[in-house]
């Protein structure tokens, strides 16, 4: 069996009584774009900092091409990193910033000049070499930081929420750039973000972090369509959670009963729940439809919001829970506040969590 390119093995980090990272294990093949997605304090950044060598793990191991890197100091790990904050060296020009890692590696002047030029082309900042960091926009600074981190051909590039300081439009622009640079260089990227849309846009695979643990690892599609836990279901994509009064589990499917007595069969079961009981049903707002034949879940319209391409409708169930739907405006013409109607959806697009 060939060894995995990068493996994080039962990594654990505690600060006193606080467990920041709890038994995190991950296998990353070479060239993958893997994102750590999770809320702040979920352990995703701590895991990344352990890889960078700034945080010594309490237990566990990190191996690159089969060899542990934990005893190697940060500056000898040959890992690239782009930080959340702007970290260009303020007294050096763009050119000298990118040349810095090459100079400390004692490369020849001609090699450095050629490499810096290639890097500036890669991040599309040709002609910016003489500028000082203070005279660059936030987006340009992060692109130079990316060029600097890639200049020495690191096997792994770490990115710690590099776009969180930028506005939405610029962020999307640079996301496309990052995607392109990943494809052009083939470098393995570990990317930390709390923005699920960013994670879905960029990643080959996403590891969802919560309370120091990985809840699920998979492609964006897998996480969205087959969330393993209630947390993943709520964190990736929009979702409604409805109270379930009773669920009868048969194999991997369940027949569930809502508090108002409405039943729904053939609901996928997740998270290894086998026992019957109460719980919650997750259904995406865009899976919901207004029923035309009076079957389905009886609800009352509370509010309708027009959003251009789509509209959202907020309903209230018989037991007082809110549920919302998103659809093309034309499909929900007859929804007016106060009206009673029924909601239906494909049972296999909803998920029961005990």
Partner 1 sequence: MLLSYRKLGGLRIALWAITLAVCLFLLVPIIFIAALSFGSSQWLIFPPPSWTTKWYHELFADPRWLQAAMTSAKVGLLSAALSVFLGLLASFALVRGSFPGRGILRALFLTPMVLPVIVFAVAIYALFLRIGLNGTLVGFVIAHTVLGFPFAVIAIVNSLEGFDKSIEDAAVLCGASPLQAKLKVTLPAIKLGLFSAAIFSFLISWDEVVVAIFMASPTLQTLPVRIWGALRQDLSPVIAAASTILVAFTLVVMALAALIRSRMNK
* Contacting positions for partner 1 (CB under 8 A): 52, 54, 73-81, 83-91, 100-101, 104-105, 145, 148-149, 152
Which is closer to partner 1, CB of 153 or CB of 238? Answer: 153
| Residues 297, 283 contacting (CB under 8 angstroms) | no
Dihedral through CA 327, CA 256, CA 213, CA 145, nearest 10? -10
Q: Which residue has the tokens 């492609």?
A: 219
Which is closer to partner 1, CB of 54 or CB of 319? Answer: 54
Mark 4-35 as b/e (b = at least 16 C-beta within 10 Å).
bbbbbbebbbeeeeebbbeebebebeeebbbb
In the complex, least distance from residue 87 CB atom to partner 1, rounded to whole angstroms: 4
What string of DSSP letters covers 93-154?
-HHHHHHHHHHHTT--HHHHHHHHHHHHHHTT-TT-TT--GGGS-HHHHHHHHHHHHHTT--
Q: How many CB atoms lie within 10 A of CB 80?
A: 23
In the complex, least distance from residue 194 CB atom to partner 1, rounded to whole angstroms: 18
Which is closer to partner 1, CB of 101 or CB of 298? Answer: 101
Which is closer to partner 1, CB of 86 or CB of 324? Answer: 86
Run of H or E including 150: helix 138-150
Closest CA to 217 of 48, 81, 25: 25
In the complex, least distance from residue 264 CB atom to partner 1, rounded to whole angstroms: 51
In the complex, least distance from residue 344 CB atom to partner 1, rounded to whole angstroms: 52
| Residues 25, 181 contacting (CB under 8 angstroms) | no
| Residues 215, 232 contacting (CB under 8 angstroms) | yes
CA 180, 185, 188 angle in degrees (round to 5)? 95
Which is closer to partner 1, CB of 84 or CB of 175? Answer: 84
Which is closer to partner 1, CB of 135 or CB of 250? Answer: 135
Tokens standing for 269?
A: 């079961």
In the complex, least distance from residue 175 CB atom to partner 1, rounded to whole angstroms: 21
In the complex, least distance from residue 1 CB atom to partner 1, rounded to whole angstroms: 31
Which is closer to partner 1, CB of 83 or CB of 324? Answer: 83
In the complex, least distance from residue 75 CB atom to partner 1, rounded to whole angstroms: 5
């Amino acid at each position: 069996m060939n060894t995995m390119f990068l493996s994080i093995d039962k990594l654990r980090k505690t600060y006193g009584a606080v467990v920041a990272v709890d038994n995190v294990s991950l296998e990353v093949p070479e060239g993958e774009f893997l994102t750590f997605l999770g809320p702040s304090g979920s352990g995703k950044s701590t895991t990344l900092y352990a890889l960078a060598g700034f945080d010594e793990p309490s237990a566990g191991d990190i191996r690159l091409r089969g060899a542990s890197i934990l005893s190697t100091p940060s500056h000898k790990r040959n890992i690239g990193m782009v930080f959340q904050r702007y970290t260009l060296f303020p007294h050096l020009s763009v050119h000298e910033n990118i040349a810095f890692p090459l100079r400390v590696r004692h490369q020849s002047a001609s090699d450095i000049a050629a490499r810096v030029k290639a890097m500036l082309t890669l991040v599309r900042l040709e002609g910016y070499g003489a500028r000082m960091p203070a005279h660059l926009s936030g987006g340009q600074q992060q692109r130079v930081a990316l060029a600097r981190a890639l200049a020495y051909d690191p096997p792994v590039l770490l990115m710690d929420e590099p776009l969180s300081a930028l506005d939405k439009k610029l962020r999307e622009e640079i996301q496309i750039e990052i995607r392109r640079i990943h494809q052009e260089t083939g470098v393995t990227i570990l990317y930390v973000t709390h923005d699920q849309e960013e994670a879905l846009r960029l990643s080959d695979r996403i590891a969802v972090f919560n309370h120091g643990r990985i809840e699920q690892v998979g492609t964006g599609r897998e996480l969205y369509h087959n969330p393993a836990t209630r947390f993943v279901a709520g964190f990736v994509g929009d979702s409604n959670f409805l109270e379930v009064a009773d669920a009868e589990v048969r194999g991997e499917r369940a027949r569930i009963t809502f508090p108002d007595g409405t039943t729904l069969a053939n609901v996928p079961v997740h998270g290894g729940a086998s026992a019957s009981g109460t719980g919650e049903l997750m259904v995406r707002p865009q899976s919901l439809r207004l029923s035309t034949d009076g079957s389905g879940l009886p609800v009352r319209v509370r509010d309708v919001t027009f959003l251009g391409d789509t509209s959202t409708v907020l309903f209230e169930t018989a037991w007082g829970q809110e549920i919302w739907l998103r659809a093309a405006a034309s499909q929900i013409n007859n929804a007016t506040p106060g009206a009673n109607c029924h909601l239906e959806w494909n049972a296999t697009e909803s998920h029961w969590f005990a």
